Every structure is written in structure tokens, then in C-alpha cells.
């Protein structure tokens, strides 16, 4: 292919096993979100840039350097969504959905865009499936949402290989005190921090924890911990979550340096890390954001949510799941005279739900059989002059080579009971 038309870096084509695993993740996610009472919401990919700047924060890596933003023909600054939460809050406010408790719990599935430096597990277009729950500051909401995610991980059989890491980033009151402490710590080590961290110190000092630079990460090991600055209410909130998780036998770790890469969080936050897919091992993350709705001009409504990265979860599943072979068949005809009968056979077995390829459009039975084998069908159904006369077909098991003649009436059942 001419290089000029090649795929952009960080944008993936998904096919084969990847698509099977993508659908498995999506189906499992939908099964549990529905069971927990969430409603689906489908939102635009393009939003006003300001929506993300205001919510994710100017000092975040996402807003500072990773957004796909441009001016549209009307001169508006627009951005391809880097995440789902901001758009959900906008949509709920704009459509007045807060008036109906049915829409206080929503889920979404779709592509997100971040202009990050591509590497294994870090893409420029990736997919998130996420939930947002509005209306309560109760820790039961935090617990229920995390337990929903845990059930998905259990069902996908990856829960034994993940670490659920939790922390609290405090409320306005405690985060304020913590930021002061962090600035003092930063200034003591000022010369040793990278240029980006110096900018982060000015915009939002919490964001220094997002730095990927090894020497900055080393200094940060000694940084003060937010958990030492939490107010009584925030401590209780975190401890209650720990209690609920323990009671439900959901294993977790507390990481006092977990602050998440987006500015809107308050109180309890969490991440799920899969052990064994390299540096980009966060397969899901989320937390509480009690101020975002009011920051967008809405009422004072607390919220909690998370998003799971589909492509990273696919990497984790590949280590654990063997993709099952799909049952499919091919109908082949010896000569063009039997094409009509082969179409009739195909429509009969398709009506029983069998995945069926009609190969009669290819010249010659040899070519048809070769194609059937390349596609990987389990059975070939061969139709010749005799078969048409007798209203029968020859069924060939592609693995064993075994052939038998069958009446149309028992064809589908024979295939379905001999996978």
C-alpha cells in the first residue's frame, strides 16, 4: 500500500480476536451496569474545548498537551473528547435530566482521543466504557460502583491479577492545606524537578504526581501524603469505603499518593491496575467528583463514577482467555447449475442461526473448498447434480475429512449437535 494512506500512529485497527474480546468486555459491562440499574447515554465525540479545560483542568497533562483541538468553520474552539465524564455532566444539565432519578445513573461506551506518545497500551484513540452516578455523597454509592466494576473483573476472570488501589484526595478544605504542604516540599527540591513539573507547581501542584519522569517520581516518594491532611469527614468517608470493601471481600490497597490525572476529583478515588501488561497497566479508574456539576452552573450535586479502558483490558484478557473457535459453515456447489439450490440450503440453515458462507460465486469446487478451509469453517456443505435431484446435501467435516449425505430436514441439527 502507498505509505501516504497509512494508519496514524496511536490509532488501531481492531479485527479477529481483538473484536471478539472487545465485544466480550462490552457485553459483560452492559450485563452488570444494567443489573445495577444504570441507563445508557450516547453522547457526541466533539464538544467545546472549554468544557474539558474547565473540568479536567488547565494544569493536567490531558488539557496541557494531549487534546485533539481545532477551530471549526464557525471559529469555535472544539475538542474530540478525551474522556466521558465532562460530556455526561453537560448532557445531564442541558437536557434537564436531574429532574428524573432514572437518569441519575448512566453508562456510556465509545471512543476517546488523547494525543499521548503512543506505546503498548497507550493509544491516541481508545475506547472507554464508564458509569456516572449523580445525587449522593453516601459512601454506599462509592462502594456499589466499585463493586459493579469488581463483578465485571470477576466475570472476565482477571480479578486475581489486578490491584484495586484507593485513596482520598480530600474535599476543598483539606486539599487546600495539602497543596500548601506540597508546595513547600516542591520548593525544597525545586532544582531537581523537571521543567514541566515547575509549570505544574504554578497551575495545580497536585499534578506533579502525574509526571512520568523517573527522577521526579523518585523525589515524590518522599512527598507529604494527603492522607495526613484529610479532615475528619474525609477520613471517615475513606475508612467507610475500606470497611464496605472488606465486608464484601474485595481486596484493595491504599496508596496515599494516588491523586488521578484529572482535576475534578474530591474525596475517594481509585484505580484498577493489571499486573503484567507493562507500564500502562491502569485498566480502570475513577472516583468522586462533588463539585463538577455546580462548576458547570448546575445545582450542588455530588457524583461518583469510573471508566474502564477497553484496549488495555483486551491486553489483560489475552493473557487469560483463549478465544473459542466459532461454528461456521460454507455451502459449495459443484457447478453453476446448483447455485440456486445452494442459496436455498443457506437460507434454511441461516434461519436456524448458523453462520453461513455461500461460496457458489467462486469458479470451481476446488477454489470453493480451498476458500472454505482458509476461512476456517467447521463444515462444508457440498451440492451437486445428485444432491439437487434427491433434495439432499453432502456434509464434510473439514477437520476429519469425513463426509455423509443428509436430507435437508436433519442438516442444521446435525451441524449444531456436532460442533
Residues that bind ligand HAM (CB under 6 A): 83-85, 114, 116, 122-123, 126, 128, 130, 132, 261-262, 282-287, 305-307, 309, 311-312
Rounded to a whole number of angstroms, the minimum distance from the CB of residue 244 to ligand HAM is: 18
Closest-by-Cβ residue to ligand HAM is 309
Rounded to a whole number of angstroms, the minimum distance from the CB of residue 70 to ligand HAM is: 19
Rounded to a whole number of angstroms, the minimum distance from the CB of residue 182 to ligand HAM is: 21
CA dist 96 and 98 (Å) reads 6
Rounded to a whole number of angstroms, the minimum distance from the CB of residue 85 to ligand HAM is: 4
**How many C-beta atoms surround the C-beta of residue 381 within 10 A?**
26
Q: In which region does residue 57 sit, left (phi positive, over 0), alpha (psi from -120 to 50) or beta (all else)?
A: left
Phi, psi angles (nearest 5°) of residue 42 = -115, 125
Q: Which is nearer to ligand HAM, 286 or 392 (CB)?
A: 286
Return all residues near 23 (Cβ < 8 A) that are at least 6 apart: none
Q: Which is nearer to ligand HAM, 110 or 256 (CB)?
A: 110
Q: Which is nearer to ligand HAM, 81 or 396 (CB)?
A: 81
Q: Which is nearer to ligand HAM, 250 or 287 (CB)?
A: 287
Rounded to a whole number of angstroms, the minimum distance from the CB of residue 113 to ligand HAM is: 9
Q: Which is nearer to ligand HAM, 241 or 345 (CB)?
A: 241
Rounded to a whole number of angstroms, the minimum distance from the CB of residue 246 to ligand HAM is: 23
Q: Which is nearer to ligand HAM, 111 or 256 (CB)?
A: 111
Rounded to a whole number of angstroms, the minimum distance from the CB of residue 280 to ligand HAM is: 7
Q: Which is nearer to ligand HAM, 259 or 334 (CB)?
A: 259
Q: Which is nearer to ligand HAM, 98 or 185 (CB)?
A: 98
Rounded to a whole number of angstroms, the minimum distance from the CB of residue 286 to ligand HAM is: 4
Rounded to a whole number of angstroms, the minimum distance from the CB of residue 290 to ligand HAM is: 11
Q: Which is nearer to ligand HAM, 116 or 338 (CB)?
A: 116
Amino acid at each position: 500500500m502507498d505509505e501516504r494512506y497509512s494508519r496514524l500512529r496511536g490509532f488501531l485497527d481492531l479485527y479477529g480476536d481483538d473484536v471478539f474480546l472487545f465485544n466480550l468486555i462490552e457485553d459483560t459491562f452492559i450485563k452488570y451496569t444494567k443489573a445495577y440499574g444504570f441507563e445508557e447515554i450516547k453522547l457526541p465525540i466533539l464538544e467545546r474545548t472549554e468544557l474539558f479545560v474547565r473540568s479536567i483542568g488547565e494544569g493536567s497533562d490531558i488539557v496541557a498537551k494531549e487534546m485533539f483541538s481545532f477551530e471549526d468553520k464557525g471559529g469555535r474552539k472544539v475538542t474530540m473528547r478525551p474522556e466521558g465524564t465532562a460530556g455526561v455532566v453537560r448532557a445531564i444539565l442541558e437536557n434537564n435530566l436531574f429532574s428524573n432519578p432514572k437518569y441519575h445513573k448512566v453508562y456510556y461506551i465509545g471512543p476517546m482521543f488523547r494525543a499521548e506518545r503512543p506505546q503498548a497500551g497507550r493509544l491516541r484513540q481508545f475506547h472507554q466504557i464508564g458509569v456516572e452516578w449523580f445525587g449522593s455523597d453516601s459512601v454506599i454509592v462509592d462502594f456499589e460502583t466499585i463493586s459493579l466494576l469488581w463483578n465485571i473483573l470477576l466475570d472476565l476472570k482477571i480479578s486475581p491479577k489486578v490491584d484495586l488501589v484507593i485513596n482520598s484526595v480530600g474535599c476543598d478544605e483539606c486539599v487546600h492545606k495539602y497543596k500548601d504542604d506540597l508546595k513547600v516540599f516542591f520548593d525544597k527540591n525545586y532544582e531537581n524537578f523537571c521543567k514541566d513539573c515547575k509549570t505544574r507547581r504554578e497551575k495545580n501542584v497536585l499534578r506533579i504526581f502525574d509526571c512520568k519522569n523517573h527522577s521526579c517520581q523518585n523525589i515524590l516518594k518522599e512527598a507529604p501524603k494527603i492522607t495526613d491532611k484529610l479532615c475528619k469527614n474525609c477520613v471517615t468517608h475513606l475508612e467507610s469505603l475500606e470497611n464496605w470493601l472488606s465486608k464484601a471481600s474485595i481486596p484493595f490497597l491504599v496508596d496515599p499518593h494516588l491523586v488521578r490525572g484529572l482535576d475534578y476529583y474530591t474525596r475517594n478515588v481509585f484505580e484498577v491496575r493489571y499486573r503484567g501488561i507493562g507500564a500502562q497497566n491502569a485498566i480502570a479508574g475513577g472516583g468522586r467528583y462533588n463539585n463538577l456539576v455546580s462548576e458547570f452552573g448546575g445545582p450542588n450535586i455530588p457524583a461518583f463514577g469510573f471508566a474502564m479502558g477497553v484496549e488495555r483490558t483486551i491486553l489483560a484478557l489475552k493473557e487469560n482467555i483463549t478465544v473459542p473457535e466459532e461454528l461456521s459453515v460454507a455451502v459449495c456447489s459443484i457447478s453453476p447449475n446448483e447455485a440456486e439450490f445452494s442459496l436455498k440450503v443457506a437460507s434454511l440453515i441461516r434461519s436456524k442461526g448458523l453462520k453461513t458462507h455461500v461460496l457458489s460465486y467462486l469458479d470451481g469446487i476446488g477454489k470453493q473448498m480451498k476458500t472454505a478451509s482458509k476461512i476456517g469453517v467447521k463444515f462444508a456443505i457440498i451440492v451437486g447434480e445428485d444432491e439437487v435431484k434427491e433434495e439432499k446435501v453432502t456434509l464434510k467435516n473439514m477437520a476429519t475429512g469425513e463426509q455423509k449425505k443428509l436430507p435437508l430436514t436433519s442438516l442444521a441439527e446435525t451441524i449444531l449437535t456436532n460442533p
